[in-house]
Chain A
Amino acid sequence: ETGVTQSPTHLIKTRGQQVTLRCSSQSGHNTVSWYQQALGQGPQFIFQYYREEENGRGNFPPRFSGLQFPNYSSELNVNALELDDSALYLCASSSGVGGITGELFFGEGSRLTVL
């Protein structure tokens, strides 16, 4: 059973650019959630996807968007990057059936630096 994998592990962008982060969920998991973790802070919920539909969103602007694919992998896209977007972006997968889920499993994250 493979765990949650994320790519790239590190990347550097400049203000105004766009970035795409990728996540492969754990085998058998159909729900993916994305989190932003600023240095020294706890992770903040961005949004979640269940069966290719966005199903819950945190307090993030529309320039944060996502996709989930039929194989349950997911992408996080951020447009018009700002300096404050510099953070560790974490993907988590879980098995959700009819709104019931158990444990969330996290990947190693993608470290984004915006200059």
Chain B
Amino acid sequence: KQEVTQIPAALSVPEGENLVLNCSFTDSAIYNLQWFRQDPGKGLTSLLLIQSSQREQTSGRLNASLDKSSGRSTLYIAASQPGDSATYLCAANAGGTSYGKLTFGQGTILTVHP
């Protein structure tokens, strides 16, 4: 059974700082890994998707890496801004007949203060 853990549970940083959010998963047989952002009371916004054959993906100030062998992914946010404040969730996709099933971590609550 896949289990996903995110560390830290909460993070508070001053504006402009670079930061790293961590995600670990127990079963390395994943199809892809997806990072999401969730604002309070809202749905999930997809940030980055990394296929199992890839090592990293970049979008603007965001960079996500994937190391299947160690069961880890990181989300790097450069030059953080107050608008980045949200909950960040990572999710592992098993693929195959379970391709719609994501296993989520508990999330990291990020606060960027001016």
For residue A42, which residues in chain B have a CB less than 8 angstroms away from its CB?
4, 89, 91, 104-107
Which residues of chain A have C-beta atoms less than 8 A from B36's C-beta?
A: 106
A101 and B100 contacting across the interface, CB-CB below 8 Å:
yes
Which B residues between 87 and 101 are near A, CB-CB below 8 angstroms? Answer: 89, 91, 93, 95-101
CB <8 Å contact, A108 and B43: yes
CA distance A104 to B43 in the complex (A): 12
Interface size on B, residues (CB 8 A): 28
Chain A at the B interface: SS class:
strand
Indicate the size class of the contact surface on chain A.
20 to 34
| Bound-state Cα–Cα, A90 to B44, Å | 8
Which chain B residues (64-114) contact chain A, with CB distance < 8 Å?
Answer: 89, 91, 93, 95-107
Interface contact B99-A106, CB-CB below 8 Å: no
- Say yes or no for A8: interface residue by CB 8 A criterion: no
* Contacts A42-B89, A103-B49 given; does A111 touch B41 at CB 8 Å: yes
- Whether the Cβ atoms of B106 and A41 lie closer than 8 Å is yes
Tell whether A101 pairs with B42 under 8 Å between CB atoms, given A41-B106, A42-B105: no
A72 within 8 A of B: no
How far, in angstroms, from A111 to B42 measured CA to CA in the complex?
9
Please give the distance in Å from B35's CB to the nearest CB on chain A.
11
CB A54 to nearest CB in B, in angstroms, measures 11
A residues 74-115 with Cβ under 8 Å of B? 88, 90, 92, 94, 96, 99-109, 111
Of the listed residues B45, B49, B100, B103, the one surrounded by the most CB atoms of chain A closer than 10 A to its CB is B100
- Which residues of A are found within 8 Å of B98, using beta-carbon distances? 56
Interface residues of A (CB under 8 A from B): 4, 6, 31-33, 35, 40-45, 48, 50, 55-56, 58, 88, 90, 92, 94, 96, 99-109, 111
21 A-B contacts (beta carbon < 8 Å): A4-B43, A31-B100, A35-B102, A42-B104, A42-B106, A43-B89, A56-B98, A88-B41, A90-B44, A92-B44, A92-B102, A94-B100, A96-B100, A100-B95, A101-B93, A104-B34, A105-B46, A106-B36, A106-B46, A108-B42, A109-B42
